[in-house]
Chains A and B, each alone.
Chain A
């Protein structure tokens, strides 16, 4: 029964897409074949393996023309028995923003007009951690850490119950089996409802065509992660999906000079993140919103 429904739905869909294509023929005939392909490109999760290969080849060609580099675009799926979790030791963070810039260069974010960052470090006066209204986002001292302040880095908290996924009108963002919330940049329509729904400001928007200088490109990318984006699509931290699925640490973990940042598999009882959750005093931001974030802040035991 459900199978029959499925085929009928498929039929309606393919029929309508054909009709749509037919109706828009006069418009599309003025576009190149590549533009037509882009226009009709399917949702990533509905592509067959063959279709994915074709899209990857097209993208690699396009990136080569644009950035003069040979890209490796991975579509590697989630590893079995994994649920990624993050730990951040607030008592060690000195607010140097090394993580912010390591993230930017790893993840090919737009560098200027507008500059996008997936990590934001807030400076708070000592004595307060919860009321972020008193936080300073754009502090620029000569040296860090500063007396009388603590620092709170915030990025996508990879909620297990993500409000952004719930509100997306078109399934352009979803949670992968390893817990990472990803975006199909080619499916996003740029309505920015997810930005309004996120309690952590975990998402940023490409207000214009992203500006990524050729010599700053990272060519090792994942389709759902750090591949170069396009204008008016939303983007966010993916725990460096291109790295962690190959057994590496996220770039921010590697870049942190104080070792504040920890990462591991929540399902593995021997992982570092499990050690931290079991032995340190951990808390999660905005726990009262029931987002079940997988980003644990902690202090020296």
Chain B
């Protein structure tokens, strides 16, 4: 009874403190949160219109039946998978500067996962029937459908990336050392799982014989390589923001290490792309049509051409910046490289990957797709929601990491509780 009361009190203390932490901040913090909130609300209004009228509110058609939503989904799965790039050096090789920030990286992966799942949900025509997809409750077509695999893989990864950092943070909140025997298996599991979510997502496209553009076995390796560029790139940027606005210390060494890893990943990404382009162009079969549409335009339809070349230029520039130690280890060029990669890979792995799969369609029709306002607004809304979730998670996680928010505060509370008991007993004596 006593312990239960203690637990309740402690939980209450934690909630109260968390609430205080997330609701108090500087002007910039408020401005940031409220502008994100405004974007979320706007996105939701547009989504509601789409939900009521159907997907006709978007620019998708029977020809190009997946668009901006699924493009964002694909990109975000890659972003989330990239947390593993921090996990490996920190937990396995005990590389100290990264170890301090890995928890934040995992929470970032969790936020990405939430966004990825939301992008699938807004793409569903019948969200009201979502429960048909739940294991045991609905009727999941497992293991035949890769989409069923993806539901399990993504949710599992979301769980891991919430469970591991929360466990570590709670331990640190109580001022205790984590039980490595307990948590290490989960950490180790999260490494193949990260590779798994991206592989499963690649297979989702890869398995479709009807779409030659996706039906290439190089797809999953390419997915992984590009993910290990974009995810860490955004993490480098976020960590610089975190160390600027909070007390947490992130050494430059950690950032440079991550940038070096990006250089290797980008080399692999460009190499695999080159291998694919060679095969398509040298053999020159009719299956090249989608490639042609993407890189040069097909029968005067060339909407994606400037985009993909811009992406290529960005990726190559970033690769060079990260390859040369002097530009990699200067914050200005480092950040430029990160920005180029974030945008470049988004184009390549998002619209530049999803749309050409549908152009030309299996019966040879060429239908160009441009997302409309609804799709843009809903997408901005989801991105804003992901950033807001990440911001709030950081607002609680950082004080725990730095030791500002701990259980000892509560222990002071215990003392006051004791003194309360003391006064109560005094009252009793007085009454007698």
Q: Residues of A at under 8 Å CB distance from B? A: 9, 12-13, 16-17, 20, 39, 43, 46, 113-114, 120, 122, 131-135, 137, 154, 163, 166-172, 187-193, 195-201, 203-209, 231-233, 289-290
Q: Which of B55, B134, B208 contacts A232 (CB 8 A)?
A: B55
What B residues does A187 contact at CB under 8 A? Answer: 129, 132, 139
11 chain-A/chain-B pairs, Cβ below 8 angstroms: A133-B360, A135-B365, A170-B139, A187-B139, A189-B126, A190-B129, A197-B210, A201-B363, A203-B62, A204-B62, A205-B55
**20 extra interchain contacts, Cβ-Cβ under 8 A, other than A170-B132, A187-B132?**
A43-B139, A122-B364, A133-B289, A137-B363, A166-B144, A167-B144, A170-B133, A170-B141, A171-B140, A187-B129, A189-B124, A189-B126, A189-B129, A190-B126, A191-B120, A193-B147, A205-B55, A209-B53, A232-B126, A233-B125
What B residues does A233 contact at CB under 8 A? Answer: 125-126
Contact in complex: A172, B362 (CB < 8 Å): no
Contact in complex: B62, A13 (CB < 8 Å): no
* Known pairs A196-B66, A232-B126; A132 contacts B56 (CB<8 A): no
What A residues does B93 contact at CB under 8 A? Answer: none
Contact in complex: A16, B136 (CB < 8 Å): yes
* Known pairs A171-B139, A209-B54; A20 contacts B133 (CB<8 A): no
Contact in complex: A113, B65 (CB < 8 Å): no
What A residues does B61 contact at CB under 8 A? Answer: 207
Interface size class, chain B: 35 or more
What A residues does B429 contact at CB under 8 A? Answer: none
What A residues does B140 contact at CB under 8 A? Answer: 169-171
Contact in complex: A163, B210 (CB < 8 Å): yes
* Known pairs A196-B210, A197-B208; A189 contacts B146 (CB<8 A): no
A170 → chain B, closest Cβ, in Å? 5
A159 → chain B, closest Cβ, in Å? 11
* Known pairs A196-B66, A207-B56; A163 contacts B209 (CB<8 A): yes
What B residues does A196 contact at CB under 8 A? Answer: 65-66, 205, 208, 210-211, 357-358
Interface centre among A169, A188, A207, A290 (most CB of B within 10 A): A169
Q: How far is the CA of A204 from the CA of B365 in the complex (A)?
A: 14
Q: Which of A20, A192, A198 contacts B210 (CB 8 A)?
A: A198
What B residues does A20 contact at CB under 8 A? Answer: 131, 137
Q: How far is the CA of A171 from the CA of B143 in the complex (A)?
A: 12
Q: How far is the CA of A169 from the CA of B130 in the complex (A)?
A: 11
Residue of B nearest to A35 (CB): B128
Contact in complex: A189, B65 (CB < 8 Å): no
Residue of B nearest to A9 (CB): B136
B114-154 toward A: CB 8 Å interface, digit per residue (1/0)?
00000010011111111111101111110011111001000
What B residues does A204 contact at CB under 8 A? Answer: 62
Contact in complex: B364, A132 (CB < 8 Å): yes
Contact in complex: B54, A200 (CB < 8 Å): no
Residue of B nearest to A130 (CB): B286
B61-85 toward A: CB 8 Å interface, digit per residue (1/0)?
1100110000000000000000000
Contact in complex: A231, B125 (CB < 8 Å): yes
Q: How far is the CA of A192 from the CA of B361 in the complex (A)?
A: 14
The 5 A-B residue pairs with the shortest CB-CB distance in the complex, in nearest-first order: A190-B125, A232-B125, A132-B364, A199-B210, A208-B56
B320 contacts A by Cβ under 8 Å: no
Residue of B nearest to A117 (CB): B62
Interface centre among A12, A170, A200, A290 (most CB of B within 10 A): A170
Q: How far is the CA of A62 from the CA of B289 in the complex (A)?
A: 47
Contact in complex: A289, B209 (CB < 8 Å): yes
A187 → chain B, closest Cβ, in Å? 6
Q: How far is the CA of A188 from the CA of B132 in the complex (A)?
A: 8
Q: Which of B133, B360, B363 contacts A189 (CB 8 A)?
A: B133
Q: How far is the CA of A207 from the CA of B57 in the complex (A)?
A: 8
Q: How far is the CA of A193 from the CA of B138 in the complex (A)?
A: 18
* Known pairs A131-B286, A131-B364; A113 contacts B133 (CB<8 A): no
Q: How far is the CA of A276 from the CA of B145 in the complex (A)?
A: 36
Residue of A nearest to B129 (CB): A189
Residue of A nearest to B127 (CB): A189
B122 → chain A, closest Cβ, in Å? 11
Q: How far is the CA of A9 from the CA of B137 in the complex (A)?
A: 9
Q: Which of A205, A208, A231, A289 contacts B65 (CB 8 A)?
A: A205
What A residues does B162 contact at CB under 8 A? Answer: none
B60 contacts A by Cβ under 8 Å: yes
Residue of A nearest to B132 (CB): A170
What B residues does A17 contact at CB under 8 A? Answer: 137
A22 → chain B, closest Cβ, in Å? 13
